[in-house]
Chains A and B, each alone.
Chain A
Amino acid sequence: MTDHDREPQAIRAEALESLLIEKGLLTADAIDEVIVRYSERVGPMNGARVVARAWIDPDFKQRLLEDGTSAINEFSFEGGRIEKLVVVENTEKVHNAVVCTLCSCYPWAVLGLPPRWYKDPQYRSRIVREPRTVLKEMGLDLPADLEIRIWDSSAEVRYMVLPQQPEHSLGKSEQELAQLVTRNSMVGVESL
């Protein structure tokens, strides 16, 4: 066991888990299924497929930017119902990044579960106030004349960033392109 497993909240979670299993409200199988689903099937590889298709198919890209919710239905992703998906495009003039300052809302169906930094107070407090500084600390040094748009997911709309396609990737297949797309680029804290 790691130290993390022995944190007080870990022990309390295990205590509650055992009580709920005894009451028939929870099963070990349900917990295993959650781990498999979010480790193997629901994750940023889904969003990467959406981005790769948008890069090679201008009609799809237009549909995606106009109505992201309908456009991603073409992929039949499982898990994490998205009421409304808005896809925002990074360009030569605008850079977008996503946050949820009040909790940790995130487009699960396309990006899976959010990374720890997205849920931590540092990102949630600072990205709306000093985005240029935070992005620079995270390795993304944007020119001062590039407009930064931050999308604070304060209701059930979910946001995903469509990153700019790197020039070196022109001509690659959709499958090859999907391999290049990272989670952080679709949250807007990385350029490709």
Chain B
Amino acid sequence: MDGIHDLGGKPGHGEVVVEKDEPAFHSRWEAAVFAMEAAGIAAGVWTNVDRFRHAIERIDPIAYATHGYYGRWLGGIENLLVEAGVVTRESIDARMEKMGGSLQDLVASRPNLVPDPVGDEPAGRGSSRVVNRKPKFATGDLVMTSRKAKSGHTRLPAYARGKTGAVVLTHDAWVYPDSNAHGQGEDPQYLYTVQFTGSELWGAGDENIKVSLDLFEPYLSAVDGRKLS
């Protein structure tokens, strides 16, 4: 989905701020949120990273931009816990008020009223799968990415849509996030690292820049069977 999370190439963002001697966590609550992710998996509430990533993409966009990394995680985790019926939004609100919070504050989570099916989501198997077909592309092939925007989860960023690049690395078939995130099965697909020139992506500029992305086979089509010269 073309959400606020899809940041590649978006204009208007300023200088990168580097914090000196940054700790792993800035506050205990950040570590608590980190631990909740493992707790949710242990409880069987979610078992795949695609569903988890999509839950974060679905949070309030203003919260996404302002609540920080663990604030985004909190929103995603709350989405999944509420959708699974483990907690209710009201119970979190009530506890928060008791602990000195205000109900006027922006809440990141936006749980779906009709959640995606959980489906068959075996945990802990990793993402690589064996499939009974050959990959369509090989190293050096020129490929074009899909032009279509998707309403659900996808790992083709908007900035790389409708662009021509060259396959530089090939990988095994991996669980397809666009399907797996929505409880529609693993549907494993071959994965390729595709390299684009900066000018192909951005229209002009520095010819000495290459950007590579890891893209699933359904995102790609052949460009006249051509090879990279």
List chain A positions with a Cβ less than 8 A from chain B: 2, 4-20, 23, 25-26, 30-31, 33-35, 38-39, 43, 81, 83-84, 86, 101-104, 112-113, 115-117, 119-126, 128-129, 131-132, 134, 137-138, 144-157, 184
Contacts and interface: CB of A to CB of B under 8 A. Distances in A.
Nearest to A33: B35
A115 B19 contact: yes
Given A117-B16, A122-B14, 7 more contacts: A13-B74, A18-B99, A20-B39, A34-B38, A129-B202, A132-B209, A138-B18
B39 A145 contact: no
A102 B56 CA distance: 11
Interface residues of B, number: 92
B148 interface: no
A59 to B, nearest CB: 22
B27 A10 contact: yes
B13 A121 contact: yes
A128 B19 contact: no
B34 A25 contact: no
A122 to B, nearest CB: 4
B108 interface: yes
A34 B96 contact: no
B167 interface: no
Q: Which of B28, B42, B156 has the most CB of A within 10 A?
A: B28
Q: Which of A12, A122, A123 has the most CB of B within 10 A?
A: A12
Given A83-B126, A119-B69, A157 B36 contact: no
Given A15-B99, A101-B7, A152 B211 contact: yes
Contacts of B86: 23, 25
Contacts of B53: 102-103
B206 A102 contact: no
A129 B9 contact: yes
Contacts of B33: 13
A137 B16 CA distance: 8
A106 B28 CA distance: 22
B120 interface: no
8 shortest A-B CB distances, which residue pairs? A101-B8, A8-B105, A11-B101, A155-B214, A9-B71, A15-B95, A15-B96, A38-B24
Given A11-B96, A103-B53, A149 B212 contact: yes
Given A102-B155, A120-B16, A26 B7 contact: no
B92 to A, nearest CB: 5
Nearest to B208: A147
A115 B8 contact: no
Contact of A25 (B23, B39, B210): B39
B174 A121 contact: no
B101 A148 contact: no
A145 B127 contact: no
B95 A121 contact: no
A129 B191 CA distance: 23
A31 B35 CA distance: 6
Given A12-B101, A35-B31, A137 B26 contact: no
B24 A25 contact: no
B101 A15 contact: yes
Nearest to A114: B69
Contacts of A144: 206, 208
B74 A148 contact: no
B7 A121 contact: yes
B101 A4 contact: no
A160 to B, nearest CB: 14
Contacts of A15: 92, 95-96, 98-99, 101
B74 A128 contact: no
Interface string B212-228: 11111000000000000
Contacts of B211: 128, 149-150, 152
